[in-house]
Amino acid sequence: MPNQILVIGSSNTDMVVKTQKLPAPGETVLGGTFFMNPGGKGANQAVAAARLGGQVTFVAKVGDDIFGQQAVTGFQQEGINTRYILTDAEHPSGVALINVDASGENCITVAPGSNAHLQANETAEALQTMASDTLVLLQLEIPLSTVEHVVKQAARRGLRVILNPAPAQALPTDLFQHLFLITPNETEAELFTGIRVADLPTAKLAAQKLHELGVSNVVITLGSKGAYLSTETQDQLISTAVVKAIDTTAAGDCFNGALAVGLAEGQPLPDAIAFACKAASISVTRMGAQASMPKREEVDQ
């Protein structure tokens, strides 16, 4: 039996416009196509993990509105345990406005709404109920105080915590020691270490700094270059497939959801990362966040 995965994080509705180029400040770009699909880093990672065969429980706070209802129905259709999802009577569900250009690059604005009101004490029941070999997967689209509380409570219970520190923001230095694994991208790694990650040597230096902050296992995602793994005993660059990127939105989310599934199945870290790279390389060939998450058969093929 694979270990269970507890994802605690955000749920948004993504309003996506694909255009030839991203607008500059003050500029209007005409001629795009629009589509709406479910997003939010927490929800994307939960859906990615569920589609790849993970047993997922998701804790989030949605608004008392159609977006929130649609999101929860979607999670249930994916087989995700939604028992601990809360409804906020005062704040609307999160919304993200996303522009994607012809090369698949994006720019995103998020109105967090109810996600910004998921309180630490509202995660307690889920945290207490999960089995002791559960993997906990967190991001930074809910209050930092809640993330800190969950990390410390989970570590106290001996649960392994994976922190995907996105979107980038400074973290209290005493947080790192409680993590099993941290998965920054290049920008986030630079924020924590001051090292501009551009290649393998700089990724190594940044990972070393993260080890010094107290995390034993570091995975720095490097976009089309794959992901760099550094632990106390090994370090290696794991490459990703060469694909034509259509929309890289949520590539990191797909990677993290898949990584959690690999680890929950007992795969060694390098194998779980290779699995995550495969899944994420498929996701970038499709539009959307949750809409782009692959199924297990696709990755295994």
| Residues designated as active site | 253
Rounded Cα–Cα distance for residues 123 and 8 (Å): 8
Classify residue 42 by its DSSP letter. H
110 binds, among ligand RIB, ligand ATP, none (CB under 5 to 8 A by kind): ligand RIB
- Other Cβ atoms less than 10 A from the Cβ of 109: the count is 10
State phi, psi for 2 to the nearest 5 degrees: -65, 155
Q: Is residue 93 part of the contact set for ligand RIB (CB under 6 A)?
A: no
CA contacts within 13 A on the Cβ side of 20: 4
Long-range contacts from 194-199, C-beta under 8 angstroms, 24+ separation: 197/222
222 binds, among ligand RIB, ligand ATP, none (CB under 5 to 8 A by kind): ligand ATP
Strands (E), the chain: 4-8, 12-18, 33-39, 55-59, 61-63, 86-88, 94-100, 106-111, 135-138, 160-163, 181-182, 217-221, 227-230, 235-238
Q: Which residues contact 233 (CB under 8 A, 6 or more apart)?
A: none
Q: Is 14 annotated as a binding residue?
A: yes
Q: Print the binding letters for residues 132-161 with ligand RIB: x by CB under 6 A, - otherwise.
A: ---------x--------------------
What SS3 state is found at 208?
Answer: helix
User: How many residues bind to ligand RIB according to rule CB under 6 A?
Assistant: 15
Q: Is residue 61 part of the contact set for ligand RIB (CB under 6 A)?
A: no
Q: How far is the CB of 175 from ligand ATP (least distance, A)?
A: 19
- Residue nearer to ligand ATP on the CB measure, 44 or 57: 44
Q: Is 225 annotated as a binding residue?
A: yes
Q: Is 94 annotated as a binding residue?
A: no
| Residues between 236 and 265 that touch ligand RIB (CB under 6 A) | 249-250, 253
Rounded Cα–Cα distance for residues 166 and 169 (Å): 7
- Residue nearer to ligand RIB on the CB measure, 113 or 230: 113
Binder of ligand RIB out of 110, 197, 261, 284 (CB under 6 A): 110
Residue 18, Cα to own-chain centre: how many angstroms? 22
- Residue nearer to ligand ATP on the CB measure, 136 or 250: 250
Site residues for ligand ATP per CB under 6 A: 166, 185, 221-224, 226-227, 240-241, 243, 245, 248-253, 255, 277, 280-281, 284
> Where along the sequence are the contacts to ligand RIB (CB under 6 A)?
10, 12, 14, 39-41, 44, 96, 108, 110, 141, 249-250, 253, 289
What residues are designated binding site for substrate?
12-14, 40-44, 141, 253
